[in-house]
Structure 1
Amino acid sequence: MNHRRALTTAAAPAAAAAACHILPAATWLPGVRATLFPSLDGRGSPDHVALTFDDGPDARSTPYFLRELDRLDARATFFVQGAAVRRHPALVRAMAAEGHELAVHCWEHRPPWLPRPVADRADLSRAVRVVRETSGTAPRWYRPPYGVLTATRWLAARRLGLRPVLWTAWGRDWRAGADAASVLVHLRERLAGGATVLLHDSDRNSAPGSWRVTLSALPVLVSWCREAGWRVGPLSEHGVAGLVPAARRLGAGDAVRDRMRDLMDP
């Protein structure tokens, strides 16, 4: 019996550490973000829609998006993978020269579930450095792979001066079987003034060829926004408010509030 109690006691700290690590991942749920952390949900100025893309740069697909955005006279925020930036520096410089904003997605697209405090910070630091050195601008925003913010990722972003932002509306454009119509249907579910839209300019982590679906939906999306009177542009023009006041609307003494406030406070 004592042996069993000792094992239980020894396991308790590990279980607590795992719980703290995964707790912020609850922000993946749209209802949690929208209610408690509207800026993490990408809520900005009501007359603006932030257009964002994940997973590039990709020499096979990103140039098509740059060409289409130029035709539409629209600019966007690209959440890039550091390893891909290193492989395609000329493309990244072209993105910056054309007025698009470079933000950090990851170094490489890794699953989020195991705590990796040292590795997460090292990978994110490498990504920040290569974006800054290649584009000539310091990235401001961070969106983690799969949209899952763990404690180690959140703390790494905070220590590197990055602001996490997920999304308000997404097109689920990475899925096999998606087409332009389905992407637009999913976007419409939460598209509104002040929304941040998530799409992908690469199929590196998506169904093969899915970027073509996204590209075909893009002009319709931009047209919808402009017809509604919403400007379309990058996060830098979106007017995202601070995170902490929304977090503090939770009930006093709430352990979830206290832990997430600790992670988010500057």
Structure 2
Amino acid sequence: MAGDRVALTFDDGPDPRTTPRVLTVLDERGLRATFFVLGAAVARSGSLAAEVVAAGHELGVHGFRHEHHLLRGPGWVLEDLRRAVGVVGEATGQAPRWFRPPYGQLAAGSLRAARALGLEVVLWSVWGKEFADPELERIRRRLASGLRPGAVVLLHDSDLAAPAGTGARTVALLPGLAEDLAVRGLRAERLDRVAA
């Protein structure tokens, strides 16, 4: 049961340019989160993925590559997720529990692959859309309107699969989001602690 908890989630990292800055703000504000990582990014930055976990956060998978599953066959999707799960486990010593499909597009192959690999599918209930909107206050209001116990907040900690500046906007948004959570008596947590 969610109680006073909100699941804070980030997609598309880990990114050495922005993920460490996200981690710093999360630590300063006492926030915990789940990072839906790209396997290819973890393969390049395994130590950063391990740092995310060591800081008290958890990793889910967002695929090995950020590709539309609706355009790929079931075999391709299964292999993509299998590679992502493998590289995350190798980097962190922990098997991921969660899967969020790229672009939030759930194909039948995505569901079968997730089930075959023991992954639970997670989408979101409130989305910053910070990749498409440069106005921080408008993004903050959009996020605040959906903050309630059990909400799943989607932001991006990286520009790897999003327009340049997305990760930096997320970093700039986090202090305000922390304030909005506090005003509502909510706290940001890892998905496993919200779903429990």
> Under TM normalisation by the shorter chain, which class is it?
over 0.9
Aligned to 1:170: 127
User: Among 173, 183, 190, which residue is 1:227 paired with?
Assistant: 183
**Is residue 213 from structure 1 mapped to residue 169 from structure 2 by the alignment?**
yes
State the Cα distance separating 1:113 from its structure 2 match.
Answer: 2.2
Aligned to 2:93: 136
Aligned to 1:84: 41
Q: In structure 2, how many angstroms separate the alpha carbons of the residues matched to 1:167 and 1:75?
A: 16
Counting only pairs closer than 5 Å after superposition, residues 103-114 of structure 1 correspond to structure 2 as 103-114=60-71
Aligned to 1:187: 143
Q: Deviations over 1:118-140 (max 9, x none)?
A: 11001100100110111111100
Structure 2 gap ranges (5+): none
Aligned to 1:74: 31
Structure scoring higher RCO (CA < 8 A, sep ≥ 6) equals 2
Q: Between 137-146 and 225-234, report the one with greater CA deviation.
A: 225-234
Structure 1 gap ranges (5+): 1-43, 241-266
Instruction: Letter of the 1:98 partner, please give it.
Output: A
State the Cα distance separating 1:209 from its structure 2 match.
Answer: 1.1
SS of alignment partner, residue 47 of structure 2: helix
Whether contact under 8 Å (2:8, 2:154) holds in the other structure is yes
Instruction: Letter of the 2:61 partner, please give it.
Output: V
Q: In structure 1, how many angstroms separate the alpha carbons of the residues matched to 2:87 and 2:78?
A: 14
User: Among 139, 154, 161, which residue is 1:198 paired with?
Assistant: 154
Whether contact under 8 Å (1:180, 1:214) holds in the other structure is no
Whether contact under 8 Å (1:172, 1:178) holds in the other structure is no
Q: Deviations over 1:106-165 (max 9, x none)?
A: 101112322411110011001001101111111000000001111001110011000001
Counting only pairs closer than 5 Å after superposition, residues 88-127 of structure 1 correspond to structure 2 as 88-127=45-84
Q: Deviations over 1:2-58 (max 9, x none)?
A: xxxxxxxxxxxxxxxxxxxxxxxxxxxxxxxxxxxxxxxxxx614110000000000
Whether contact under 8 Å (2:144, 2:180) holds in the other structure is no
How many residues get paired?
196
Q: Between 88-97 and 184-193, report the one with greater CA deviation.
A: 184-193
State the Cα distance separating 1:210 from its structure 2 match.
Answer: 1.8
Aligned to 1:65: 22
Per the normalisation by structure 2, the TM-score is: 0.95
State the Cα distance separating 1:219 from its structure 2 match.
Answer: 1.1
Whether contact under 8 Å (2:40, 2:65) holds in the other structure is yes
State the Cα distance separating 1:213 from its structure 2 match.
Answer: 1.3
Per the normalisation by structure 1, the TM-score is: 0.71
